[in-house]
Amino acid sequence: NAGVMQNPRHLVRRRGQEARLRCSPMKGHSHVYWYRQLPEEGLKFMVYLQKENIIDESGMPKERFSAEFPKEGPSILRIQQVVRGDSAAYFCASSPRTDGTEAFFGQGTRLTVV
Amino acid sequence: AQSVTQPDIHITVSEGASLELRCNYSYGATPYLFWYVQSPGQGLQLLLKYFSGDTLVQGIKGFEAEFKRSQSSFNLRKPSVHWSDAAEYFCAVSRGGGADGLTFGKGTHLIIQP
């Protein structure tokens, strides 16, 4: 049973481009969480999704950011018109439980905006 | 809103010495409590967690943590550190309801001296 898979591991985008980050949860996990880690900071919750539904996006910036978890395929975190301040590590976690207490993390995608 | 404080940004310990990393939380009820470890460029690995019951929790890699309700603390300990323990350690809390995920502290960077 593979762990949570995130790709790409590293992503470089120019200002104004779009960034797409993918997360494949562990087999049997239907709950996905996205977190952002800025340098020298802990992880900040962004969004919680179940299959085809956004459950809580209270941590997501209102503009340029969106997330989805389709019935088939990985969860996608999309950042439009990236800016330098979007440079960070983005982590995905998946859980088999509704309460999210058994969360397994991927290795993250490190986004650099140049 | 819940919050987590890790008062020590950096800690340096000699190999073989004991270790205690501090974590204080702010939450109206008893939260779910977690310690994660992050090696450079990697994702987060769960060391241990506390939901209820015995307040002394054993984890992987020889770590343990003690929940003290009166002090709102969940400190991580290890009797004898190894050079491979050098990493970033994060304390996290959850309401356990799934929504809004985990709230993380800013982390403690552990340095092991030979």
Phi-psi region of B61 (alpha: psi -120 to 50; beta: other; left: phi over 0): left
pLDDT category at A100 given cuts 50, 70, 90 is: low
Check residue A40 and report its DSSP letter: T
Report chain B residues whose CB lies below 8 A from the CB of A95.
98
What mean pLDDT is reported for chain B?
A: 91
Which site among B2, B24, B100 would you substitute to test the A interface, given the most A Cβ atoms closer than 10 Å to its Cβ?
B100
pLDDT category at A49 given cuts 50, 70, 90 is: very high
Q: Tokens in use for A14? A: 């120019």
Counting one residue from A and one from B, how many pairs have CB atoms under 8 Å apart? 80
Under an 8 A CB cutoff, do A100 and B98 touch?
Answer: yes
pLDDT of B42 reads: 82
| B7 in contact with A, Cβ within 8 Å | no
pLDDT of B99 reads: 58
For residue A109, the cross-strand partners are A90
Say if residue A1's pLDDT is above 60: no
What mean pLDDT is reported for chain A?
A: 92
Mean pLDDT check: name the lowest of A6-15, A80-89, A91-100.
A91-100
Under an 8 A CB cutoff, do A91 and B104 touch?
Answer: no
Under an 8 A CB cutoff, do A56 and B107 touch?
Answer: no
| A29 in contact with B, Cβ within 8 Å | no
- Sequence-ordered strand ranges (E) for A9-114: 10-13, 19-24, 31-37, 43-50, 53-56, 65-68, 75-79, 88-95, 104-105, 109-113
Which site among A58, A101, A112 would you substitute to test the B interface, given the most B Cβ atoms closer than 10 Å to its Cβ?
A101
Report chain B residues whose CB lies below 8 A from the CB of A43.
44, 90, 92, 102, 104
Query: From the CA of A3, how many Å to the nearest CA of chain B?
Result: 11
pLDDT digits (tens, 9 = 90+) for B26-60: 987 778 899 999 998 788 999 999 988 899 999 99
3-class secondary-structure state, position B85: helix
